Amino acid sequence: MSDRYAGLYLHVPFCARVCPYCDFAVRTGDAARRRAYVDFLLAEIDLYAGYPLTFDTVYFGGGTPSCLETSDLERIVARVRERLVTVDDPWIFLEANPEDVTASSAAAWKRIGVRTLSLGIQSFDAGELAFLGREHSVQQAVDSIRIARDTGFHTVSIDLIYGLPGQSTDTWHRRLDSAIESAPDHLSCYQLTIHDGTRFGLLEKRGDLVQLPDDGQASVFRATHEHLNAAGYAGYEVSQFAIDADHRSRHNQKYWNHTSYLGLGPSAHSFDAGKRWWNQRTTGPWQQAIERGAQPVDTEETLSPRDLLLETLMLGLRTYRGVDCADVKRRFGTDLIATNGELVERLLTNGLIKHHEARLIPTLDGLAVADSLAAMFRLGL
């Protein structure tokens, strides 16, 4: 992966049903609606024809990209290559639900260039899957990983959700052991967050769902990193673990490194040259803009040097690499350590960061409060 190249994100907003914890821009839809959506997505790609970035990653996210017909995925990949500038062999990521994975579908995805298959496993326990509103069974989860490995994708990644109500550290260890036994190349482990406007949000307001208390969440967060690191899955971001550096997410690292990326589809975000913009959140307004021949942007903003530096801190302190203070001084003219000497000493004393070769690196305790850490720094701008 090179910071010279940008990432392309393509949003597929369809799911068989909406999970009770999900606040993404997703909807249900039949085959005709999905195919019509692809036609609009192709038209949006056309609206960005010749955009002055070279893309080396293409990420199909959602939603459930695996619900699209392979022929539609092929149409999208072909249009990207035709209208945008890509490297000869861009790294294609595809998110998939376990119930969509068969030997036939996996072979078709690999044929169109998918190299990382990301499986929405979420849990290896039947009760937890039912609670999370997932459609697949534990056996389907296990089978999907096996099929993906047998198909020969470069990277098989799985998503897990932890911090469920009542979940203990011992229970979570057992879930992680099941994941490790399935031998993926990469894991993304996300803490359950309750959002307003979701089914879980409604249940919480009614008192029918009680989140894991803060100390319980802290325990399972620590258990995630300690257990996976001990099993050979090296953490490299607050929720990301890989069997080796070659299996880290080439696309997601662009977000954390402040590399340019273009997002297409409803609700998709983009960042380039100090500017950020995001599309209309819902499909209707997004389609209407495209029909007018307009890029379906909802809002855009130009980030000030202060904004960019704060984001650099926030993103860096969520990773195992931390913040490169020499790079910050080169880009922003700010000596973070000199400007924040007392704070740095306090964070070192409290075991929240380490200082190594001009880097401020969060400890595991620091990773757990990464966003709060970044807000403590004086930026000198």
- The per-residue pLDDT string of the chain (381 residues; one tens digit each, 9 = 90 and over) reads 445 899 999 999 988 777 777 776 656 667 888 999 999 999 999 999 999 999 999 999 988 999 999 999 999 999 999 999 999 999 999 999 999 999 999 999 999 999 999 999 999 999 999 999 999 999 999 999 999 999 999 999 999 999 999 999 999 999 999 999 999 999 999 999 887 888 888 887 888 878 889 899 999 999 999 999 999 999 999 999 999 999 999 999 999 999 999 999 999 999 999 999 999 999 999 999 999 999 999 999 999 999 999 999 999 999 999 999 999 999 999 999 999 999 999 999 999 999 988 999 999 999 999 989 999 998 865
Instruction: Report the alpha-carbon distance of residue 312 to residue 12 in Å, rounded.
Output: 29
Residue 14: its H or E element? none
- Spell out the residues 6+ positions from residue 344 whose beta carbon is closer than 8 angstroms to its own: 336, 337, 353, 355, 360
Confidence (pLDDT) at 120: 96
Q: Which long-range contacts does 48-53 make (Cβ < 8 Å, 24+ apart)?
A: 48/83, 48/84, 48/262, 48/264, 48/295, 49/83, 49/84, 50/83, 50/84, 50/85, 51/84, 51/85, 51/262, 52/85, 53/5, 53/6, 53/84, 53/85, 53/260, 53/262, 53/272
Distances (CA, A) of 354 to 275, 316, 318, 357, 360: 31, 13, 14, 10, 6
Place of tokens 């003219």: 333
Rounded to two decimals, the pTM is 0.94
Instruction: Report the alpha-carbon distance of residue 154 to residue 257 in Å, rounded.
Output: 23
The topology under which CATH files domain 6-255 is TIM Barrel (3.20.20)
Confidence (pLDDT) at 24: 67
Confidence (pLDDT) at 211: 86
Confidence (pLDDT) at 380: 66
Distances (CA, A) of 157 to 2, 185, 225, 360, 366: 21, 6, 16, 29, 26
CB count within 10 Å of CB 108 equals 17
- Alpha helices, DSSP H only, in the chain? 31-47, 70-83, 103-111, 126-131, 138-151, 169-181, 199-206, 214-230, 252-256, 283-291, 305-316, 325-332, 336-339, 341-349, 364-368, 370-376
Is 181 in contact with 233 (CB distance < 8 Å)?
no
Distances (CA, A) of 131 to 56, 161, 200, 368: 38, 12, 10, 25
Q: What are phi and psi of 356, to 5 degrees?
A: -140, 120
Rg of the chain in Å (alpha carbons):
21
Q: Which two tokens stand for residue 244?
A: 């080796």
Instruction: Report the alpha-carbon distance of residue 366 to residue 376 in Å, rounded.
Output: 12
In the chain, domain spans: 6-255, 305-376
Out of 1.10.760.10, 1.10.10.920, 3.40.50.150, 1.20.1250.20, the CATH code matching 305-376 is: 1.10.10.920
In single-letter form, the type of residue at position 339 comes to T
Q: Which two tokens stand for residue 338?
A: 């000199």
Q: What are phi and psi of 96, to 5 degrees?
A: -145, 145
What per-residue string of b and e applies to 254-269 under the rule 16 or more CB within 10 Å gives b? bbbebbbbbbbbbbbe
**Measured on CA atoms in the order 353, 354, 356, 361, is the torsion positive or negative?**
negative
Q: Which two tokens stand for residue 277?
A: 């913009």
Is 289 in contact with 280 (CB distance < 8 Å)?
yes
Instruction: Report the alpha-carbon distance of residue 25 to residue 23 in Å, rounded.
Output: 7
What per-residue string of b and e applies to 119-134 under the rule 16 or more CB within 10 Å gives b? bbbbbbbeebbebbeb
Confidence (pLDDT) at 140: 97
In single-letter form, the type of residue at position 19 comes to C
